[in-house]
Amino acid sequence: MLLCFVGTNFHGWQVQPNLRTVQGTLSDALGMLFGEKVKLIGCCRTDAGVHAKEYIANFRSSKFFPIDNLLKALNSILPEDIGIKKVWLEDLSFNARYSVAGKLYTYRVFPSLARDPFLEPFVWRIPYSLDIESMKRGAELFLGNYNFSGFAKLDEEEHDPFVEIEECKIEEKDRIIEISVRAKRFLRYMVRRMAGCLIYLGMGKLTVDEIKEFLSGKKCPYTAKAKGLTLERVFL
């Protein structure tokens, strides 16, 4: 299934005891409809507060539910901060975590003293001006295959810190600066720390040489706020 969610009131994707998560909420809804416990597999983890415009998940069931009816039923019982866009049948070998070809994240930062409550849940608003050209030069540093252990919280099952960044670009749209990053896979906290580096570079509080040190393994302490990050697209 293809879904989307506003992450503000979720503690991320992955099920956690006694916490509201996207996976837990959606699994409960599927269990209600299918009358059995459903194991739901997602294309990636998301941190608490992170949003997704596109997210791929899959599950198997011993019972059949007509696709169109399932789409309608899920959207009728799920809370308003989760939406199902599409449901379809896949080969049994499909696994949302491993079958996707890539992901595109966008981090949005709003350099402004004025506050807009319609933007506030989806951007990191900072009371500083940003040098976009410096940020663009900084973004080029990330292109290629690097050891991103300095940008990540490595999980026990994550043994490979090398990630190839296919795209890292900076654009300004309606005074909001968008940092877009595309790769096949990402490490935990990686995009938020990349964004944090570029934002602090734009504020003049960080240098290009310091970013190079982070790419050489030094721990990056600049983590951008979760609410500014959105999983924009998932590529199959």
Distance, CA of 105 to CA of 107 (rounded, Å): 7
The residues near 206 (Cβ < 8 Å, ≥ 6 apart) are 197, 200, 222
Domain encompassing residue 218: 105-230
Q: Does the pLDDT at position 77 exceed 90?
A: yes
Distance, CA of 1 to CA of 114 (rounded, Å): 38
Q: Are residues 134 and 171 in the same domain?
A: yes
* CATH code: domain of residue 167: 3.30.70.660
Q: Does the pLDDT at position 156 exceed 50?
A: no
Q: Does the pLDDT at position 84 exceed 70?
A: yes
What average pLDDT does the structure give for the chain?
Answer: 94
Q: Are residues 211 and 196 in the same domain?
A: yes
- 3-state SS, residue 232: strand
Out of 95-104, 131-140, 150-159, 195-204, pick the least confident: 150-159
Domain boundary among 98, 125, 144: 98
Q: Are residues 208 and 119 in the same domain?
A: yes
Local confidence band at 158 (pLDDT 50, 70, 90 cut-offs)? low
Q: Are residues 126 and 185 in the same domain?
A: yes
Q: Are residues 109 and 222 in the same domain?
A: yes
Domain boundary among 69, 98, 127: 98
Q: Are residues 109 and 217 in the same domain?
A: yes
Question: Can 131 be counted among the known catalytic residues?
Answer: no
Q: Does the pLDDT at position 160 exceed 90?
A: no
Q: What is the pLDDT of residue 154?
A: 64
> What is the mean pLDDT of the segment spanning 69-94?
95
Token pair in block for residue 7: 């992450």
Q: What is the pLDDT of residue 217?
A: 86
Q: Does the pLDDT at position 107 exceed 60?
A: yes
Q: Does the pLDDT at position 157 exceed 60?
A: no
- 3-state SS, residue 127: coil
* Active-site option among 28, 47, 81, 209: 47
In this structure, is the dihedral angle defined by the CA atoms of residues 83, 165, 179 and 117, taken in order, positive or negative? positive
Q: What is the pLDDT of residue 153?
A: 78
How much is the pTM? 0.93
* CATH code: domain of residue 47: 3.30.70.580
